[in-house]
């Protein structure tokens, strides 16, 4: 059994600006901008979790059954959640050689969120202060937003059975049938009278079903005395089905708990899509003297989303490893080392409708159907194919006290599926997925760990994971760029935009158009950790993470506020009259970047692209065995306390590089406070085993 | 059995087992390959596949798609508040979400949304005509004529408002290419028009296009064939976000109050005349527009007094369901008047009579009588009256940008109403009005980047 109690609260993400004595301080009670005007709305959220599990069985039947319940609160009002989880894993051996495993899990969750919409949500109305949509920054006025009721329910059933039949010791057949069903039901209700409106309700029901068949057969035999071969063959078929039903209702006076049917004006929308992917493969592993391992194989895939002119796609693979430390020339002092290298291809299929020229009836208006162009279509559309080469070693030294796994990888994606903008004057202005371009990714992954102290009662472990990733658009089919995601010669997903070339000069900004700022994803991730084992089973652990090399664009918070004549912390030093309004001090005292950012007619979100390097202390934890406090029936008990995301260093002077975004209705991760940075979290957990 | 025979039998058994295993393997593989090839044939519901639009039941909805996109294209940045602010039809309230600060100051927006909508309207209509040309489809002549009409209006708006034309992914051309193609569509529509409504719509559209092409005789001749009561309206759907009247949405006070009639020509004109085409009102409890206008110096906090625009007739405020006129009978009188002023200036009194005939067809909301006629004593005076009347009659219909462009280009006499906003805020002085290429939208960057026949010289 386990119970966890946790609390979350916000970190500071504004600037330490004292606005005591200003009208804003008097109106809102928030006299420092270190939370970027969010302070009156933030609270501590409490999140309990309880779970229990039991396992047991005999030779022919083993079982594991678990259940759990979680409650969650966010850092804002109206952020609540509940989650129920249950799981059962069963394993049978009905006859010799046949084993059946059946695993099933079911979760049900509910979440209430606060509105973050444009005019009727917290986001802009809080950070823009008196220039918000209410023209009033008093919390009791802004909190009218809490009447906007947003709730989601998610049900997920995952079940599957695996039949393993080994007729003889050298022939194994394994068939897996899996089924994953997800349903997310979302209701966004603006009640009658909200913002003076007549009431609006959107219900959004999304279902996803994935049915999987997977068969693998393996036949092992000795080729010669020192060479053993394992030949595998098989096939997979995966059916993925999406279903979305949306209802929109408007105008429901008198209905306190309306449904779409309660509304005077109603609309319905339905979308369905199904994709089947099926393939077969052959593979052979040669084991030469348990020292050299060579794998050769290929798979062929077909996909219902491929264009009519496209057949099967074949993916070869080849890999080998060599336990060099088993060689006679190797000295024990050189440790244990395995070298490995691999080459393989994999693919990514387009979406269900990408290959087909389609039209949509969403142009309907005034109750009559109207067709509009939807997708240009491409009968030759196929998968993008990624070929990856990797090499490295797994090594340990000093009696396994120092361990290093190192991998270098370089992948090249050919026929990359990229959204190419349509030519508006030719009728289809939307993006069309096309097999254009070549993208490249390369990097190093290092996982190192050491045990400087390794005694029965004492221990000290050090860990360090380092990951680098460098991507590049090598070829874009003759284009210089495809949207902002792919720019020739630049990393994939790169920030490009206007740039102030003379940021510190006290002059008018000199703007460079289409400046490449840098990648949106980190190019370096370093994760150090350490664990100390103390007598009596006490354990202390610390884990941190450093991400660097990337940029973050504040796409609307600051520039959107400035352009609406709101004041923002990052411009504070340039405001005349202590920021009572957005009037700037004489321009000859404002450097070019300040003018570009803080002048409403000049500002642009490109000027708020920041280097996003940061370090975050992800976890500091202590585990203490506490079975001595409990009855004899308890075989073990441990209390763990941890503090997560407690300390940070970031290069951005304001906001946070991990600031979230609003999720789509199909997004299963229901983050609380999506426009706030990850919270600081305190967790106390008690785990008891009987 | 000797040991050798035993070995032989055992080896045979092993071979038989291997052969059986091999058969099973081959059977499983054959099944897997079969599933791979056959199982991938899926037809999904939802989006309509292109071939189904040949079905007769789809024809009407296809033509209506063109109408829908003409409706989208005539609003947004053209009739909708940004261009209306740039041409000083309405005054910006400071909201930067719907009207960028540069646009509030007088710069033209990029106009990409309208470009896409109008190009799509042309494409849908011409694609419908391509399909309807197949005799086996047995398309109705009424729909054929209607497709020509929507193609014509889409091209008319493109040709009037953009500095250059691009047809079907081709190269940059002068705007006259779009106008001439529109003229051809209207002529074809007249050939097959099924009723008077289609005939009048085609004549009115062709008169507008011929005016733009300076075919004064042709424009005047077509305009004379359109009755005074004629109106071709596109009607938005307020219940569908993307199909609503966007200027109406931003005038709806839920919570947007993006623009105001304060400081416009109509602030004084409407109370003075009661002209039903341009009414406005004050709203209790909402004295100011929804935001603050940068540098606005008439109030201490930069908030602009809000005078809410009303629909024609003032029954309700200009709202997300308010229709937009593409052509009106009164406009035809003004086209005829302008043709006279251009071709036979000495007959300016005849032109004034036509202008006042249009004016007399409206009843004042204050006097309940026909609007008072304009007085003029000279050719230049009459031009001023014509320009004023077109400002009123074409209000919020994406007409004014083209009017200002061609009057400026042709150096016509008289003045059009142009309120003096420069003293009200520095933003009206800091921005060059209109685009760098002239009083027209430039071809948007999205077209330049995607169209291989156009150089990528982006416009900032």
B75-93 per-position pLDDT tens digit: 865 545 557 778 899 999 8
Question: Residues B240-260: what's their mean pLDDT?
Answer: 85
**Two structure tokens written together for B394:** 């074409």
Q: What is the DSSP string of B125-168?
A: HHHHHHHHTSGGG---HHHHHHHHHHHHHHHHHHHHHBSSB--T
Query: For B268-278, how does the pLDDT look when each residue is reduced to its tens digit (9 = 90+)?
Result: 999 999 999 99
Decide if B26 touches A, using CB distance below 8 A. no
- Tokens representing A28? 């809102």
- Contact criterion met (CB < 8 Å) for A135 and B303: yes
Question: Helix, strand, coil % (nearest 5) of chain A?
Answer: 10, 55, 35
> What is the model's pLDDT at position B231?
98
Between chain A and chain B, the number of residue pairs with CB atoms below 8 A apart is: 234
pLDDT band at A663 (very low <50, low <70, confident <90, very high): very low
List strand residue ranges (DSSP E) for A423-519, in order: 431-435, 438-454, 459-468, 470-475, 481-482, 486-487, 494-500, 511-519
Bridge partner list, B303: B292
pLDDT tens-place string over residues B308-332: 999 999 999 999 999 999 999 999 9
Instruction: Give CA torsion, residues B140, B144, B145, B148, to 10 deg.
Output: 170
Residues of A within 8 A of B236 (CB-CB) are 365
Q: Return the percentage of chain B with pLDDT > 70, whole number.
A: 85
Task: Look at residue A385 and tell me whether its pLDDT is greater than 80.
Answer: yes
* pLDDT at B386 exceeding the cut of 90: yes
pLDDT band of residue B17 (cuts 50, 70, 90) is very low
Element holding B187 (H helix, E strand): helix B176-192
Report helix, strand or coil for A670. Answer: coil
The pair phi, psi for residue A179, each rounded to 5°, is -145, 130
- Predicted confidence (pLDDT) at residue A662 exceeds the cutoff of 80: no
Beta bridge partners of A55: A64
Residue with the bigger pLDDT between A400 and B34: it is A400
Closest C-alpha among A406, A519, A414 to residue A474: A414
List B residues 353-412 in contact with A (Cβ-Cβ < 8 A): none
Cα A567 to Cα A419: distance, rounded to the nearest angstrom: 38
Determine the Cα–Cα distance for residues A549 and A547; give it in Å rounded to an integer.
7
- Comparing CB atoms, the residue among A359, A480, A603 nearest residue B48 is A359
Q: Which residue has the tokens 């966007």?
A: B246
Output the average pLDDT for chain A: 91
Residues 6+ apart with CB under 8 A from A254: A192
Contacts of A235 in chain B (CB under 8 A): 28-29, 31-33, 35-36
pLDDT at B14: 47
**Spatial contact of A161 and A177, defined as CB atoms under 8 Å apart:** yes
Pairing of β A417-421 and β A431-435: antiparallel
- Give the Cα separation of B79 and B395 in Å (integer): 8
Closest Cα partner for A431 from A351, A536, A551? A351
Predicted pLDDT at A142:
94
Q: How many residues does chain B have?
A: 460
Of residues A569 and B113, which shows the higher confidence score?
A569
Rounded CA-CA distance A179/B324 in Å is 53
Is a pLDDT exceeding 80 seen at residue B4? no
With tokens 């997920």, the residue in question is A156
Alpha-carbon distances, residue B309 vs A352, B89, B246, B322 (angstroms): 46, 11, 13, 11
Residues of A in contact with B444 (CB under 8 A): 424
Inter-chain residue contact A273 with B44, CB threshold 8 Å = yes
Q: What is the pLDDT of residues B203-231, one digit of tens each?
A: 999 999 999 999 999 999 999 999 999 99
In this structure, of A97-101, A317-321, A631-635, B417-421, the range with the lowest mean pLDDT score is A631-635
What stretch of H or E contains A187?
strand A171-190
Q: Where do the DSSP E strands lie in A483-613? A: 486-487, 494-500, 511-519, 524-534, 538-548, 551-553, 609-611
When CB atoms are compared, the residue of A119, A422, A602 closest to B450 is A422
Q: Rounded to the nearest 10 degrees, what angle do helices B196-212 and B216-224 cross at? A: 160
Kindly report, residue by residue over B156-186, the tens digit of the pLDDT: 999 999 999 999 999 999 999 999 999 999 9
Question: B65 Cβ partners below 8 Å, 6+ apart?
Answer: A359, A363, A370, A371, A372, B124
Read off the pLDDT of each residue in B395-417 and give the average, rounded to a whole number: 94
Nearest to B63 by CA among B167, B189, B205: B189
Residue that wins the pLDDT comparison between B41 and A235: A235
Q: Which of B29, B46, B116 sits opposite A424 (nearest CB)?
A: B116
Among candidates B46, B65, B288 on the partner chain, residue whose Cβ is nearest the Cβ of A372: B65
pLDDT at A673 over 50: no
Percentage of chain B lying above the pLDDT 90 cut: 63
Considering only A250-264, A423-437, A466-480, B91-105, which range has the smallest mean pLDDT? B91-105
**B411: buried, middle or exposed (CB in 10 Å: 19+, 13-18, 0-12)?**
exposed
Over residues A612-618, mean pLDDT: 96
Exposure on the CB side of residue B318, measured as CA atoms within 13 A? 31
Identify the sign of the CA torsion B308, B309, B314, B315: negative
- Cα(A394)–Cα(A405) distance, integer angstroms: 4
Q: How do B303-305 and B288-292 pair as beta strands?
A: antiparallel
Using the Cβ of B35 and the Cβ atoms of chain A, whether some distance falls under 8 Å is answered with yes
CA A532 to chain centre: 31
Q: What is the DSSP letter of B405?
A: H
Q: Which residues contact B241 (CB under 8 A, 6 or more apart)?
A: none
B35 closest CB neighbour out of A237, A362, A563: A237
∠ CA A253-A255-A256, nearest 5°, is 120
Nearest in space to A301 (alpha carbons), one of A289, A315, A290: A315
pLDDT tens readout for residues A151-184: 999 999 999 999 999 988 899 999 999 999 999 9
Chain A residues in contact with B244 by the CB 8 A cut-off are none
For residue B130, give how far its alpha carbon lies from the nearest alpha carbon of chain A (Å). 14
- Locate the chain B residue with the closest alpha carbon to A421: B450
Q: What is the pLDDT of residue B303?
A: 87
Is A145 in contact with A77 (CB distance < 8 Å)? no
Give the per-residue pLDDT at A116.
79
A272 or A518: which carries more pLDDT confidence?
A518
Chain B residue with minimal CA distance to A559? Answer: B96
Contact B294, B101 (CB under 8 A): yes
Angle at A567 between CA A561 and CA A572, to 5 degrees: 130
More confident residue, B136 or A312: B136
Q: How far apart are CA A547 and CA B39, in angstroms?
A: 44
pLDDT surpasses 70 at A454: yes
Q: How far apart are CA A452 and CA A461, in angstroms?
A: 7
C-alpha closest to that of A522 among A499, A545, A544: A545
pLDDT of residue A669: 45
Q: Element (H or E) spanning B317, and its range?
A: none
Cα–Cα distance for residue pair A113/A81, rounded to 1 Å = 9
- DSSP codes, B350-375: HHHHHHHHHHHTSB-TTTSSBPPPP-
Q: What residue has token string 């970031």?
A: A650
Average pLDDT over residues A489-503: 93
Task: Please indicate if any CB of chain A lies within 8 Å of the CB of B97.
Answer: yes
Q: Is residue A633 very low, low, confident or very high in pLDDT (cuts 50, 70, 90)? A: confident
What is the per-residue pLDDT across A46-58, written as a single tens digit (0 to 9) for each? Answer: 999 999 999 999 8
3-state class of B72 per DSSP?
helix
Q: Token pair for residue A305?
A: 């989303």
What pLDDT, on a 0 to 100 scale, did the predictor assign at position A194? 86
Provide the β-strand partners of residue B328. Answer: B231
Separation in Å, CA B151 to CA A194, B5, B158: 42, 91, 11
A554 φ/ψ angles, rounded to the nearest 5 degrees? -80, 95
- pLDDT at B3 exceeding the cut of 90: no
pLDDT at B1: 40
Cβ A382 vs Cβ A313: under 8 Å = yes
The answer to whether B395 and B278 are in contact (CB under 8 A) is yes
Judge contact between A435 and B122, C-beta under 8 A.
Answer: no
Interchain CB distance below 8 Å, A276 and B25: no
Task: Say yes or no to pLDDT of A249 above 80.
Answer: yes
Q: Position of tokens 């200003």?
A: A22
Measured between CB atoms, which of B50, B243, B256 is closest to A358?
B50
* The pLDDT of residue A220 is above 50: yes
Is B431 in contact with A601 (Cβ distance < 8 A)? yes
CA distances from B118 to A33, B231, B260 (A): 47, 20, 27
Radius of gyration of chain B (CA): 30
B8-45: b (≥16 Cβ within 10 Å) or e: eeeeeeeeeeeeebeeebeebbeebbebbeebbeeebe
Nearest to A421 among B127, B240, B450 (CB): B450
State the complex-level ipTM. 0.86
Partner-chain contact B291 A427, CB within 8 Å: no
Give the separation between CA B285 and CA A140, rounded to whole angstroms.
19
Q: What's the mean pLDDT in B234-261?
A: 86
- Tell me: the pLDDT tens digits for A563-603? 878 899 999 999 988 788 778 898 899 999 999 999 887 88
Q: CB A581 to CB B40 under 8 A?
A: no
Interface contact B288-A135, CB threshold 8 A = yes
| Other CB atoms within 10 A of residue A577 CB | 10
């Amino acid at each position: 059994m386990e119970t966890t109690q946790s609390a979350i609260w916000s970190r500071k993400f504004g600037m330490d600006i004292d606005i005591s004595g200003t009208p804003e301080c008097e109106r809102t009670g928030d006299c420092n901008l270190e939370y970027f005007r969010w302070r009156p709305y933030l609270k501590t959220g409490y999140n309990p979790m309880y779970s229990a599990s039991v396992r047991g069985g005999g030779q022919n039947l083993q079982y594991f059954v678990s259940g759990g319940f979680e409650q969650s609160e966010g850092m804002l009002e109206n952020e609540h959640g509940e989650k129920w989880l249950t799981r059962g894993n069963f394993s049978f051996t009905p006859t010799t050689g046949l084993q059946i495993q059946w695993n099933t899990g079911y979760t049900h969750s509910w979440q209430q969120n606060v509105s973050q919409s444009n005019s009727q949500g917290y986001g802009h109305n809080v950070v823009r202060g008196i220039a918000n949509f209410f023209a009033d920054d008093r919390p009791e006025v802004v909190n009218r937003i809490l009447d906007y009721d947003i709730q989601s329910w998610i049900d997920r059933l995952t079940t599957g059975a695996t039949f393993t039949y080994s007729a003889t010791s050298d022939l194994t057949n394994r068939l897996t049938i899996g089924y994953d069903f997800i349903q997310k039901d979302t209701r966004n209700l603006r009640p009658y009278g909200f913002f003076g409106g007549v009431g609006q309700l959107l219900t959004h029901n999304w279902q996803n079903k994935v049915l999987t068949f997977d068969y693998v057969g393996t036949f092992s035999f000795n080729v010669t005395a020192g060479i053993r071969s394992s030949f595998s063959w098989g096939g997979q078929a995966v059916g993925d089905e999406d279903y979305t039903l949306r209802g929109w209702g408007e105008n429901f006076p008198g209905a306190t708990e309306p449904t779409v049917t309660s509304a005077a004006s109603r609309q319905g929308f339905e979308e369905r899509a199904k994709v089947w992917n099926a393939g077969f493969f052959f593979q052979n592993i040669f084991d030469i003297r348990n020292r050299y391992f060579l794998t050769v194989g290929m798979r062929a895939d077909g996909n219902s989303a491929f264009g009519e002119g496209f057949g099967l796609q074949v993916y070869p693979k080849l890999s080998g490893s060599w336990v060099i430390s088993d060689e006679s020339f190797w000295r024990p002092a050189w440790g244990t080392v395995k070298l490995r290298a691999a080459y393989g291809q994999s693919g990514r299929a387009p979406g269900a409708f990408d290959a087909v020229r389609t039209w949509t009836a969403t142009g309907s208006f005034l109750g009559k159907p109207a067709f509009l162009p939807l997708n240009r279509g491409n009968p030759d559309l196929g998968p993008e194919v990624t070929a990856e080469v990797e090499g490295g070693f797994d090594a340990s030294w000093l009696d396994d006290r120092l361990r290093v796994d190192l991998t270098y990888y370089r992948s090249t994606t050919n026929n990359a599926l990229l959204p190419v903008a349509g030519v508006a004057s030719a009728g289809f202005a939307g993006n069309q997925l096309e097999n254009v371009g070549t993208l490249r990714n390369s990097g190093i992954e290092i996982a190192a760990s050491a045990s400087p102290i390794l005694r029965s009662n004492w221990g000290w472990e050090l860990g360090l994971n380092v990951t680098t990733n460098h991507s590049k658009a090598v070829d874009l089919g003759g284009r210089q760029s495809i949207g902002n995601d792919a720019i020739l010669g630049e990393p994939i997903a790169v920030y490009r935009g206007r740039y102030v070339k003379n940021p510190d000069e006290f002059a008018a900004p000199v703007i460079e158009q289409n400046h490449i700022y840098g990648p949106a994803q980190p190019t370096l991730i370093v994760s150090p950790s350490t664990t100390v084992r103390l007598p009596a089973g006490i354990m202390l652990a610390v884990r941190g993470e450093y991400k660097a090399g990337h940029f973050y664009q504040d796409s609307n918070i600051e520039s959107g506020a400035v352009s609406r004549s709101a004041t923002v912390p990052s411009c504070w030093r340039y405001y005349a009259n202590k920021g009572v309004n957005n009037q700037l001090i004489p321009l000859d005292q404002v450097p070019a970047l300040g003018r570009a950012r803080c002048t409403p007619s000049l500002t642009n979100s490109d000027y708020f692209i920041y280097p996003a390097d940061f370090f975050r202390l992800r976890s500091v934890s202590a585990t203490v065995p506490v079975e001595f406090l409990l009855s004899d029936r308890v075989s073990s008990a441990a209390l763990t306390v941890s503090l997560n995301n407690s300390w940070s260093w970031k290069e951005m002077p304001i906001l946070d590089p991990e600031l979230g975004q609003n999720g789509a209705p199909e997004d299963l991760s229901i983050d609380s406070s999506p426009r706030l940075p990850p919270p600081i979290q305190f967790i106390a957990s008690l785990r008891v085993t009987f | 059995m000797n040991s050798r025979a035993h070995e032989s039998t055992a080896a045979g058994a092993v071979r038989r087992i291997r052969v059986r295993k091999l058969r099973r393997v081959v059977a499983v593989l054959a099944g897997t390959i079969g599933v791979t090839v056959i199982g991938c044939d899926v037809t999904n519901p939802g989006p309509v596949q292109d071939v189904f639009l040949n079905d007769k039941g789809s024809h009407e909805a296809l033509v209506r798609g063109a109408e829908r996109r003409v409706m989208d294209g005539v609003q947004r940045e053209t009739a909708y508040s940004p261009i209306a602010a740039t041409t000083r039809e309405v005054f910006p309230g400071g909201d930067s979400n719907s009207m960028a600060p540069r646009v509030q100051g007088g710069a033209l927006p990029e106009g990409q949304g309208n470009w896409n909508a109008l190009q799509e309207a042309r494409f849908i209509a011409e694609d419908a005509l391509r399909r309807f040309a197949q005799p086996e489809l047995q398309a109705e002549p009424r729909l054929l004529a209607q497709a020509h009409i929507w193609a014509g209006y889409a091209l008319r708006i493109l040709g009037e408002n953009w500095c250059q034309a691009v047809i079907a992914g081709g190269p940059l051309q002068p705007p006259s290419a779009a106008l001439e193609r529109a003229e051809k569509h209207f002529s074809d529509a007249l050939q097959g028009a099924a009723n008077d409504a289609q005939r009048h719509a085609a004549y009115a559209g062709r008169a507008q296009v011929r005016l733009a092409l300076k075919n004064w005789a042709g424009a005047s001749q077509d305009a004379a064939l359109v009755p005074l009561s004629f109106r071709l309206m596109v009607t938005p759907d307020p219940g569908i976000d993307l199909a609503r009247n966007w200027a109406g949405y931003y005038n709806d006070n839920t919570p947007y109050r993006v623009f105001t009639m304060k400081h416009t020509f109509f602030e004084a004109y409407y109370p003075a005349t009661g002209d039903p085409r341009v009414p406005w009102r004050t709203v209790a409890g909402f004295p100011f527009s929804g935001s603050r206008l940068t540098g606005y110096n008439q109030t201490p906090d930069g908030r602009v007094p809000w005078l809410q625009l009303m629909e024609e007739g003032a029954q309700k405020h200009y709202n997300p369901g308010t229709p937009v006129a593409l052509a009106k009978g009164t406009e035809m009188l003004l086209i005829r008047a302008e043709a006279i002023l251009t071709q036979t200036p000495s007959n300016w009194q005849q032109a004034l009579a036509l202008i006042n005939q249009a004016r007399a067809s409206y009843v004042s909301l204050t006097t309940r009588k026909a609007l008072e006629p304009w007085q003029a004593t000279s050719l230049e005076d009459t031009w001023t009256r014509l320009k004023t009347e077109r400002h009123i009659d074409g209000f919020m219909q994406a007409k004014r940008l083209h009017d200002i462009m061609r009057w400026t280009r042709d150096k016509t006499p008289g003045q059009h109403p142009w309120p003096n906003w420069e003293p009200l805020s520095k933003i009206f002085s800091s921005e060059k009005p209109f685009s760098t290429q002239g009083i027209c939208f430039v071809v948007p960057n999205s077209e330049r980047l995607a169209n291989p026949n156009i150089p990528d010289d982006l416009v900032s």
